[in-house]
Amino acid sequence: MSLKLHSTGVVLGYRRSQATQYPNISLVKIEGVNTRTDSRFYLGKRVCLARRVKKTPKNPQGYKIIWGKVSKSHGSSGVVQARFPRNLPPKAMGAKVRVMLFPSSI
């Protein structure tokens, strides 16, 4: 029996309007979430972006992990907005993220 601890998602970009973009809010499309009601389950869940960095004695694995939190849904197609303590780099657009299934309210 395997337990599923995360869902995969893709960073679409920053929240934006026609003239302004808001780099402190990232849009994430979660796999299997197609409606706004489906996205309500993921509100408050943790988002993890792992990226490769240069290996150092302080970081022998060579990965940097950026944690964020799903804050609200965006639109009607199941896209969610996630906030990170430091803005995601532009290189992260199109990158895969893990949306953890904790903390859970069930």
Question: Which residue ranges make up each domain of the chain?
Answer: 6-100
* pLDDT at res. 1: 66
Q: Token match 């395997």: residue? A: 2
* pLDDT at res. 59: 93
* pLDDT at res. 35: 96
Series of mean pLDDT values for 10-residue runs along the chain (106 residues) = 87 96 96 96 96 93 95 96 95 96 81
Please state which CATH number belongs to domain 6-100. Answer: 2.40.10.190
Q: What is the pTM of this model?
A: 0.90
- CA distances 23 to 4, 53, 81, Å, are 30, 22, 11
Phi, psi of 55 (to 5 degrees): -70, 135
